[in-house]
Structure 1
């Protein structure tokens, strides 16, 4: 059987038909798929036509019109296995941004100019949104190349524009603010400020922030940590899994050993201050998961970050969890830690990533230093001009 009925939310009746045909070219088995047929009859007619093409020409006519939406459907069925669940969830999310315009076009007709004009028309959107939409489109194009529909990916040349609506991603959390913030989270009282989160969970939040501050780990890595990942005797912390939560209900959260990069899976030294914090926490927390709620369940990263961000704002502190990773990188740079050591601590896949981060930090420091010099000179110049005696007439 080569015709299948698939659930499709994009169809009014909730499903569509798909044709699948296997054929051989020089002894190599190939697979032909095409979906989106509204009726079984349409699918059967296309199947008959394609089989006739294979009999006459040895292969189906891949020059047929195939829209970006159709390739997306094939990608979600066949190509999604190459990506992490979080990436696929984001692809689904941002697909809604372009399915009604670009999605209806033949994928072969979507060139650099078409894409750039489409993104330029969205200059009033957040640049983060546009960049994520570009990533989603690019994944579909890379899949289309594998399928032989196209030969190149025009997304590589596209420049995203848009409004920067989020915090400066180069910000860091000072040690003073880190201590103030974690102390406030630890001293939380049930019902304080109208918040419903219990004291144990708030303390878990403080531990999560501490781990992020002392290791630079990503939030999904921190919330997946278990006590067995900490070796207090040897002074090490192992990152070997991440929390999968995007697109899931909290009770469905689970940990996956599929990390962001190969370098993400690593054991690094445990800072002595963090070791002391964790040793004390382990006497309070009876559960295997280090940062968990009062029932021992996984914490919702989004809820945690929203609550911490609100508390931090009340204290005059800017906070988002990923800034802890940048804070660690900045602390390493400021203390003269070499690239190779920094790469291992930050668990980058390769040294070029660390070098890029260091270069960014270096440029920012140069800019601050330069601006500082001119600001001081400007003040001196202004004071000099104000205090200088006026010339006689």
Structure 2
């Protein structure tokens, strides 16, 4: 075969054809262009280096969207429908940025700009994107690029060194104080069952919603967690199995929760149904929870004489806006305070990684040590007259 030569085109540019091989009996070429013969030669050398690495040069015009679709087909076969929908939604947003770009031309800066843009303001939600969600976007990019690498389309992963920087304020997740726990225990409401279960059994919201009375063993004092819900629009669908494999568990529950649940009507299959005795939707849960917070606020908040929740001007929320995460965190805190070892706590909480439980326990340990020092200081100040350091 004759050696490729640089040729000048009528438009003034220079070009060179590089032989790629034969496909289906046809000779395939890659043409590179440049403003000077030297530039063309450099590009030709780069192509030959890629060919030497086994990269499929003829497929380098494949777009990110095309390889994203290949990746989705693989995901659909190996993950749950809920996980698949999450992957599909994230890929759709990523495609708005780089979907039509040839995957071989995408640089780290292109992916980094996606993360920066979403962290500043997610145009689909109108809010900055949470750090955890940004990590998921990066993960989708990495997996699509990795699939292209495995198929010899590209030779490096542009998403591998992308940094995560979130502008979203970190949501407060804390345990309820003893006083706030009393609010939950002593305030009847349709949401009280869910709140008590989350606070004294550590179930997630998605595990409480499909919970049935058959899942509760009053004799053994346990709750069996073996299903959860995933969201489609505003509706929840039941998924066999908990949020994670570790989420499938049997939770030992305290007597206070056993006694409370024994007193509840059991005329429905679900423990916490909506007002029509069917499984809750996102909307019905939100309405129930908002109503619950309003009732707690009226009973325990500082309302300056405003006592009616039907006031057309509304009632200001003066109590902390308690969330399901706070209640679940309270259960973990109660396990810590009761001396439950961290491995048992991990199993009871349904954490997939013991590092999560260790993180909570470590934080609580530091907090209680600080409280102990504060009490010591208070004691010393109270008895200061008897504990003064005297000069010798």
**What interval of TM-score do these two structures reach, taking the shorter chain for normalisation?**
0.5 to 0.7
1:354 to 331, 352, 357: 357
Instruction: Please say which of residues 358-367 and 344-353 is displaced more in the overlay.
Output: 358-367
- 1:131–1:269 CA distance, 2 compared to 1 (3 A): closer
CA distance in 1 between partners of 2:369 and 2:62 (Å): 51
Q: Contact 2:67/2:147 (CA < 8 Å) preserved in 1?
A: no
In structure 2, the residue matched to 1:296 is 277
Q: Normalization by structure 2: what TM-score?
A: 0.65
**Aligned: 1:266 with 2:236:** no
In structure 1, the residue matched to 2:137 is 136
CA distance in 2 between partners of 1:368 and 1:116 (Å): 42
In the TM superposition, what whole-angstrom CA distance separates every residue of 1:167-215 from its partner, at most 9, and x where no partner exists?
31x322224223324644x25xxxxxxxxxxxxxxx2x21111111011
- Pairwise mapping of residues 33-52 of structure 1 onto structure 2 (< 5 A)? none
CA distance in 2 between partners of 1:90 and 1:324 (Å): 26
Partner SS, residue 238 of structure 1: strand
CA distance in 1 between partners of 2:244 and 2:156 (Å): 25
Aligned residues: 303
1:210 to 196, 200, 207: 196
Q: Contact 1:264/1:348 (CA < 8 Å) preserved in 2?
A: yes
**Aligned: 1:340 with 2:321:** no
CA distance in 1 between partners of 2:139 and 2:251 (Å): 34
Q: CA deviation at 1:330?
A: 2.1
Q: Contact 1:97/1:133 (CA < 8 Å) preserved in 2?
A: no
Q: CA deviation at 1:131?
A: 3.8
In structure 1, the residue matched to 2:176 is 173
- 1:264–1:154 CA distance, 2 compared to 1 (3 A): farther
In structure 1, the residue matched to 2:7 is none
Partner SS, residue 328 of structure 2: helix
- 1:121–1:332 CA distance, 2 compared to 1 (3 A): same
In structure 2, the residue matched to 1:221 is 207
- 1:300–1:171 CA distance, 2 compared to 1 (3 A): same
Q: Contact 1:241/1:265 (CA < 8 Å) preserved in 2?
A: yes
Q: Normalization by structure 1: what TM-score?
A: 0.65
CA distance in 1 between partners of 2:24 and 2:242 (Å): 42
In the TM superposition, what whole-angstrom CA distance separates every residue of 1:226-248 from its partner, at most 9, and x where no partner exists?
1111110111110011123x124
In structure 2, the residue matched to 1:35 is none
Q: Contact 1:177/1:317 (CA < 8 Å) preserved in 2?
A: no
2:23 to 53, 60, 65: 53
CA distance in 1 between partners of 2:288 and 2:88 (Å): 27
Q: Contact 1:289/1:298 (CA < 8 Å) preserved in 2?
A: yes
Partner SS, residue 81 of structure 1: helix
**Aligned: 1:231 with 2:231:** no
- 1:53–1:164 CA distance, 2 compared to 1 (3 A): same
**Aligned: 1:241 with 2:224:** no
In the TM superposition, what whole-angstrom CA distance separates every residue of 1:365-387 from its partner, at most 9, and x where no partner exists?
567778x69x98xxx9xxxxxxx
Long gaps (5+) in structure 1: 1-51, 188-202, 381-393
- Pairwise mapping of residues 24-103 of structure 1 onto structure 2 (< 5 A)? 53=23, 63-103=59-99
Q: CA deviation at 1:117?
A: 4.0
CA distance in 1 between partners of 2:120 and 2:204 (Å): 30
In structure 1, the residue matched to 2:9 is none
**Aligned: 1:278 with 2:261:** yes
CA-atom RMSD in angstroms: 3.6
- 1:163–1:350 CA distance, 2 compared to 1 (3 A): closer
Which of structures 1 and 2 has the bigger CA Rg? 2
- 1:157–1:144 CA distance, 2 compared to 1 (3 A): closer
CA distance in 2 between partners of 1:222 and 1:134 (Å): 27
In structure 2, the residue matched to 1:7 is none
